[in-house]
Copies of this chain bind each other. A is one copy, B any other.
Amino acid sequence: MPRPFLPTPPTPSASRRSEAKAATREKILAAARDLFLKEGFEAISMRRIAHAIRYTPAAIYGHFKDKTELLITLGDQDFEFFRSKFHAIQAITDPVDRLRAAGHAYIDFALEHPRHYQLMFMTKWPIIDPAQSSLEHGNADEDSYAFLDSVVIDCIKAGRFSAKYRDHRMVTQACWGVVHGVVALYITHGDDPWCEFTRPRDTALLLLDASIDGMLPPPLAPRPAPTRRRKAARKP
Contacts and interface: CB of A to CB of B under 8 A. Distances in A.
B199 A170 contact: yes
Contacts of A196: 169
A190 to B, nearest CB: 9
Interface string A87-106: 00000000000000000000
Interface in A83-133: 121-125, 127-130
A184 interface: yes
B182 A184 contact: no
Contacts of A180: 180-182, 184-185
Copies assembled: 2
Contacts of A202: 170
* A: contact size bracket: 35 or more
Contacts of A187: 124
Contacts of A211: 178, 207, 210-211, 214
Contacts of A222: 220-222
A170 to B, nearest CB: 5
Contacts of A206: 164-165, 170-171, 174
Contact of A212 (B137, B183, B200, B214): B214
Smallest CB-CB A-B distances: 5 pairs: A214-B214, A181-B181, A177-B181, A177-B182, A210-B214
Interface of A: 38-40, 43, 121-125, 127-130, 137, 143, 145, 164-165, 169-171, 173-174, 176-185, 187-189, 191-200, 202-204, 206-207, 209-215, 218-222
